[in-house]
Structure 1
Amino acid sequence: MAARQRQPVKSVTRCIELLEFFAQESRVATVGEVAKRLRMPQSSTSMLLSSLATLGYLQQVPGTRAFAATVRVRLLGSFVQDDIAVLGGLIRGMEEMRHRTRGSVILAMRQGILVRYIVVLRGDNSTAESFSTGATRPVFQVAPGTILVAEETDEQIGLLARRANAEQPDQAQTMIADLMKDIAGIRRNGWARSPGGATPSTELTSVLMPRVAGQPLLSLTLGLPAREAVARRQEIVESLRALATRFHG
């Protein structure tokens, strides 16, 4: 007798259906519209959409109950579909950089007072504890975050810093005067640097990705041993910028 097929977990099925909906539609949709289209309870739809936004797959339109897919949804398919020219080309470029430098290459987006690593290609000496896809870090403590924060106004940065200090008491407190000096340097140079978080012997160098309408701003980062990163800084920045130009939304 053939083995009985297991029924999928309902919440997992619904999450996949939501991701597929936004991947196919490529537009903003309200909770009610999605619930009606997928024949799901509106309360469950709202909860799942909010969870996917927290994880960085969706973004909520401020002040509304509408959501849209982020680049992270597209990246789910870029690993298996080489014909996705934009993101497939970017991922291949990140792979080439990893093999050439033996460093860790990171694509990241900001979510409030956190920065989320949406793609991580770990280098030879990195571990899962150091860098992993989907991980978050305090936005002011790592270069992939500070390069993104530097695009905000001084007033917005001050508000974010005070919020981070209030909501992350277990983390090192951000001194706003020192932060603004660092932000000025980032804006002047066009790149950011920081220790590698869980791996202090690693240094991160980050640049911005080109802006894409309707998508969160992204940063591109290379993590190398600190001495190497300092000695080769200009070369690293130029390589990151060259790779970033492959991304066109």
Structure 2
Amino acid sequence: MTTPAYEEFSALHRADAPLLLPNAWDHASAAALVGAGFRAVGTTSLGVAAAAGLPDGTGATRSETVRLARGLTRLNALISVDVEGGFSDDPAEVAALAAELAEAGAVGINIEDGRADGTLRDAGHQAEILAAVREAVGGRLFINARTDTYWLRDAGKVPETGERVEAYRAAGADGVFVPGLRDLPAITDLTSTVGETPLNILYAPDGPSMPELAEAGVARVSCGSLLFRAALGAAVTAARAVAGGAPPVAEGVPSYADTQALADGFAHAAEPRIDTAPRP
């Protein structure tokens, strides 16, 4: 049985107006995006891992990912969680994780077939994992099946991508995600192949624009780690400006009060606010 949140999130995946899914790495970044009007927010595995001082894509951030998801679901937003490859090769364990996230209030999950050693998980085994997740969460989580063929393969990208996408769709994936795919004709061909299944593409500053992706039939565009990396770059730029004697660019920088307000309704009521004086 599908839930209203699942149905709402699914309905946002439209080829005529693709869902732009920004990706957060902590509560503040997610709350800021929600405050800016984004109804749906995803998490970025790189941002979550880097913020915790851990490597991305190695299955090291299960606890951090679940903890963040539990916090973000308190926001008035539709939350989709990036779980890398599921933090396990055991279909039952990945399905249990998906069920835990669904119980926490998440509406989406992103599961990739890329492995830490730079190889791809066997397509048949990945399909078994996706099928187990589908059985566990029913219509509660939108399953976005990611294939890393365009990141981890040097040749045969198009044929293998199509084969994997078909296998993942048959296993119960709601949508398919092909990061690294930027060629518009190839994207258009793939949208024809997947039919009604939403195709997710990773936005790249030097890749196709949102209007071009919409024209190609893409239903969802993810920001991935872009926002996290942009935030890091902005922080370093501001620090260098101060060190060099020039004021950092203030345009778009939230005030202390605005940033503090992002925690409204999130912090535990029992936690005392000892010092609320503004800080630099």
The answer to whether TM tops 0.5 is no
Q: Which of the five TM-score ranges fits, normalised by the shorter chain? A: under 0.3
Give TM-score, length-normalised by structure 2: 0.24
Work out which structure has the larger RCO, using CA pairs closer than 8 Å and 6 or more positions apart in sequence.
2
- Larger % of strand: which? 1
